[in-house]
Amino acid sequence: MSSLRADGRRPDQLRPITFEAGIAPHATGSVLVGFGSTRVICAATIEPGVPLWMKQQKVPGGWLTAEYSMLPYSTLDRKPREISKGKPDGRNIEIQRLIGRSLRAVLDLQKLGPNTLWLDCDVLQADGGTRTASITGAFLAARLAVQKLLDAKKIPENPLTDSVAAVSVGVCAGQELLDLNYPEDRDAEVDANIVMTGRGQFVEVQGSGEETTFSHAQLLGLVGLAQRGLLELAGLQTAFLTRQLLAR
């Protein structure tokens, strides 16, 4: 891992990671997350009530759901809005389901009470890794939103059982890389997205060869590379939340 990438990073180095709280003041909790040039607004809104299917099936507790979109000006070429195409974007649906699964993995729905936690992730600028940035920021927005419920004594205890973050890894020109930007993601021979909790438990591993195959050793190498990056991300999340919660 000695040769530098086009942006000057080591192969095992994350892009600069930034978190800014309060970007959407009408949401219960919100964070603008940056993975390098990728920027995503992650907003959490907690509303009383649960989906109709939960009421009909008498499922106790609350619910969490996510929505994801890329704003038209987030990419080099304007991306049409879903409404203008007259049909849902399959990629957006896949990603918002991933965000929802990732956050539900660390949420005790019983402790949330009869409430719905909405997570809205809107990409302002896309330079690779929008889904991983969305998951990482969505957890922070959710934690800030939950704190407001706790402060207002609307729930007795924190329903979040752990943190969760995500990062991309891939093989480019035979080299294993962490946190791919857009040119690296575009040219990758193999790419994967890994979701992991703060305690090191995997939530999801998505990986594929792009017109090629990859070995067992490469798979293990990519997972290990992602684990190191995710431990760093978990530390950054903890530091950010500590500052925010102490300052309130």
Q: What is the pLDDT of residue 82?
A: 77
Residue 186 has pLDDT above 70, yes or no: yes
Residue 88 has pLDDT above 80, yes or no: no
Kind of pairing between the strands at 164-172 and 175-178: antiparallel
Q: Which sign does the torsion angle of CA 214, 96, 71, 27 carry?
A: negative
Q: What is the pLDDT of residue 2?
A: 56
Residue whose tokens read 């942006």: 7
Domain range 17-247, CATH class: alpha beta
CA 45 vs CA 120, 121, 192, 203, 204: distances in Å: 8, 12, 30, 23, 24
Q: What is the pLDDT of residue 1?
A: 47
Average pLDDT score over residue span 142-156: 95
Average pLDDT score over residue span 198-205: 97
Residue 90 has pLDDT above 60, yes or no: yes
Q: Which sign does the torsion angle of CA 183, 187, 192, 198 carry?
A: negative
Q: Where are the domains of the chain?
A: 17-247
pLDDT band at 226 (very low <50, low <70, confident <90, very high): very high
pTM to 2 decimal places = 0.94
Residue 178 has pLDDT above 70, yes or no: yes
pLDDT band at 188 (very low <50, low <70, confident <90, very high): very high
Burial (CB < 10 A; 0-12, 13-18, 19+), residue 151, is: exposed
Residue 121 has pLDDT above 90, yes or no: yes
Q: What is the pLDDT of residue 247?
A: 79
The rounded distance, in Å, linking the Cα atoms of 124 and 165 is 19
